[in-house]
A and B are shown apart, each in its own frame.
Chain A
Amino acid sequence: MKLSKDGWGGLAVLAASLFLFALTLGLKDNPLVPIGPGYYPRIVLAVTAAFALALVVMDLLQPKASKPRESLNYLLVIEMFVVFGLYAGALPYLGFRISTLFYVAACNALLDFPRTPKGWARALSVGLITTLIVYYVFERYLTVLLPRGRWTNF
């Protein structure tokens, strides 16, 4: 019996919920409340584990229908997540303005790869214009503070 995507997903959730359930056993009760901080999490995690197990069992029992494979660009998705991760990581060090400029330009280049110097100029200008508009609208007019960089103080 082979597991499909549903079965593997269920197994992952089952493992995570059992791990968290084990951690709740170490939570100390509070004398002011009749039930401790672990009471509700244990119910939720037990229920989650039960549903995850049911998903695995159903996946094992159900006949697998073969579906036509779609050709999807997962590499681009991973690249987008990586660039976003770098952006989130860079924000506290480089600050909003510098990080956003490079992030938007990089994303634009990823989604529509520039093949000429003009294309690169387009990606950078999209980054610059977005950064300036967002910065001025939020910081100047809506008084929403945006992250400053520890390294750049900008």
Chain B
Amino acid sequence: MFELLGAGLADIFQVKYLVPLFIGTLIGVVGGALPGITITMTVIVVLPFTFGLEPLQGLACMIGVYVGGETGGLITSCLLGIPGKPSAVATTFDGFPMARKGEPGRALWLGIWASILGGLLGAVVLVAATGPLAQLALKFGPWEYFALFVLALSMVAGLVESSLIKGLLSGALGCVVTILGNDPVMGQPRLTLGIGWLEGGVPFLPVLIGVFAFSQIMGEVERLSEKKDIVQAKIELVVSHVKVLAEILSRPLLLLWSTFIGLMIGVLPAIGGSAANMLAYDQAKKFSSRPEKFGSGIPEGIIASEASNNANVAGSLVTIMAFGIPGDAVTAVMLGALTIHGIQSGPLFISQNAQLAYGMFAAYILAHPLVLIVLFFGVRWVLRIVIVPKSILFPVVLVLCVVGAYALGNSMATVYVLLASGIGGYLMVKFGLPLAPFILGVILGDQIEINLVRSLMTDADLWLFVTRPISALLLAMAAASIILSVWQHRRMQKKSAVADGAADF
């Protein structure tokens, strides 16, 4: 393992990989810092640029965007009080008050160093756990895969905050997308509805690009106002890095626990850093000896939020590299990039593409010092870039989405899929249907069908799904996750009813 990681690091230090990684990191930092532009959108914009590159070059660039974006989001959170992305929301709670108290440099660098440390601790788990988990997945037959994918979908649907039924419906709608066009086993046409461009089926990447890019951009467009973000002319960012590091390292339990939370949230499919930073912040507050100080500009809030959202990246990479299940929307785009280069993700990925896999690990590790360099020299530049008008940014992003979709098959069909998905995604958001389960359904729908058919072709006995131990365990976990979320939703409803009642009196 260490030999392969060493080889991966040696690879990534070559100029041809280092340059895309650095560019990706730089774009990620800027994209993460831009309020209204998420990391998913940034990685979608970068995707078409990777088509002409080698797989490791493209993936290194995307990993750079991912790591850079997670850290970049804290710049505007701390200095302007506007979270650059959802996974930096909790950073704002203490980062901005600290900056307003006259310590912007401390707030910013506490966040940056906590991100770096959380990310690097996550790297240890990423390198150590991915291989063994993939080995475990190699023992799976079609029954276990079917059960694993059902578990992934039910967990995501169950973790949706608004409504369990909406989460489940959204996941089911994602699976509906995969049944349009043709049957993945025999290639027989089905449910094309007489639409020519549906005949080859619906590729998941334009769906993903359309759903996320349009829902986010249109969500911003409907709130567009004349208000311009004002950047203070002079912000004092000079700080003693030794002091800041000592502040973080003097709270080892907070750092480790927040990293662990980030990792676990990352491992769960399609949840992402937005949940990780809030949960870590909440936990830090619960375990703190001075919970009343949270929100007033204390270091614990910044450290918890930032360590967890960067560790979340490592967790997401574990899931995609070991099982081929995307940990979130960004890794779903990476999955698409792998597919474009003809690389099959899943448990065989590491053994069949060891050089690429360890190159990705190395890129993840190296992206952290690169982020540090970018931010050390470029924070002020990034602050200037974030005031680029949305009227320029949005059309450019949408053009890049069209290029990305078109280049997938040099066909207008994918552009039409992009538009249809964009409208669908926006409507889903308006109707309160969560996007994460939908996307997971689109990605896993085909695999669920293929494994169901394979299992029935091997043995038509449906009881095997519940009599094979691993499959039974996974299905039981799927059922348990739904029951648990029903219970949680009910408890929350009761709590809010009590709170409402109390407010009345």
- A residues lining the B interface (CB < 8 Å): 5-6, 9-10, 13, 17, 20, 23-24, 27, 30, 32-35, 37-41, 44-45, 47-48, 51-52, 54-55, 58, 72-74, 76-77, 80-81, 84-85, 87-88, 91-92, 100, 103-104, 107-108, 110-112, 126-127, 130, 134, 137-138, 141-147
Is B124 located at the chain interface by the 8 A CB criterion? Answer: no
For the complex, would chain B's binding face be called helix, strand, loop or mixed by DSSP majority? Answer: helix
- Extra 5 A-B pairs, beta carbons < 8 Å, given A5-B432, A35-B453, A145-B410: A55-B166, A72-B223, A84-B422, A107-B398, A134-B403
B-chain residues with CB within 8 Å of residue A24 when the two chains form the complex? 190-191
Whether B222 pairs with A30 at a CB distance below 8 angstroms is no
Scan residues 161-214 of chain B and give those whose CB is less than 8 A from a CB of chain A.
165-166, 168-169, 172-173, 175-176, 179, 183, 185-186, 188, 190-191, 193
Tell me the bound Cα distance from A41 to B445 in angstroms: 10
The answer to whether B191 touches A108, judged by C-beta atoms less than 8 angstroms apart, is no
Chain A residues whose C-beta falls within 8 Å of the C-beta of B221 in the assembled complex = 73, 76-77, 80, 111
- Assess the A130–B395 pair: CB atoms within 8 A: yes
- The reply to whether the CB of B257 lies closer than 8 angstroms to some CB of chain A is no
By a CB distance below 8 angstroms, the chain B residues around A103 are 395, 399
One of B46-54, B80-88, B246-254, B282-290 at the interface? B46-54
B419 touching A111, Cβ below 8 Å: no
Determine the distance from Cα of A81 to Cα of B222 in the docked complex, in whole angstroms: 12
CB–CB B399/A130 < 8 A? yes
Chain B residues positioned under 8 Å from A141 (CB to CB): 52
- B392 interfacial contact with A, CB 8 Å: yes
Cβ 8 A contact of A33, one of B166, B418, B457: B457
A58 to B169, CA, bound (A): 13
Among A51, A55, A91, find the residue whose CB has the most chain B CB atoms closer than 10 A. Answer: A51
CB pairs A–B below 8 angstroms (7 shown) = A41-B179, A77-B426, A80-B221, A107-B391, A107-B394, A111-B391, A142-B52
Q: Are B191 and A130 in contact (CB under 8 A)?
A: no
8 Å CB contact of B172 from A38, A51, A147:
A51
Query: Could you tell me if A37 and B407 are in contact, using CB atoms closer than 8 angstroms?
Result: no
Taking beta carbons and an 8 Å cutoff, which residues of B are in contact with A? 48-49, 51-53, 165-166, 168-169, 172-173, 175-176, 179, 183, 185-186, 188, 190-191, 193, 217-218, 221-224, 389-392, 394-396, 398-400, 402-403, 406-407, 410, 412, 415-416, 418-419, 422-423, 426, 430-433, 445, 448-449, 452-453, 456-457, 460
Contact assessment for B175 and A44 in the assembled complex, using a CB-CB cutoff below 8 Å: yes
Closest-by-CB residue of A relative to B400 is: A134
Question: 3 tightest A-B contacts by CB?
Answer: A142-B52, A107-B395, A111-B391
CB pair B391 A108 closer than 8 Å = yes
Q: Which of A5, A44, A85, A146 sits near B419, CB closer than 8 Å?
A: A85
Are the C-beta atoms of A34 and B186 separated by less than 8 Å?
A: no
Among B172, B217, B418, B453, contact of A44 (Cβ-Cβ < 8 Å) = B172
Complex CA–CA separation, A126 to B223 (angstroms): 22
In the complex the two chains form, is B416's CB within 8 Å of A88's CB?
yes
Q: Measured between alpha carbons, how far is A72 from B449 in the docked complex, in Å?
A: 41
Cβ contact of A32, chosen from B172, B186, B452, cutoff 8 A: B186
Inter-chain contacts of A92 with B (CB < 8 A): 412
CA distance A127 to B398 in the complex (A): 12
Q: Is the CB of A13 within 8 A of B186?
A: no
Residues from chain A with Cβ under 8 Å of B449 in the complex? 40
- Distance in angstroms from B445 CB to nearest chain A CB is 7
Cβ contact within 8 Å between B391 and A48? no
A contact residues around B399 at 8 Å (CB): 100, 103-104, 130, 134
Chain B residues near A73 (CB-CB < 8 A): 221-224
Give, as a whole number of angstroms, the nearest-CB distance from B484 to chain A: 18
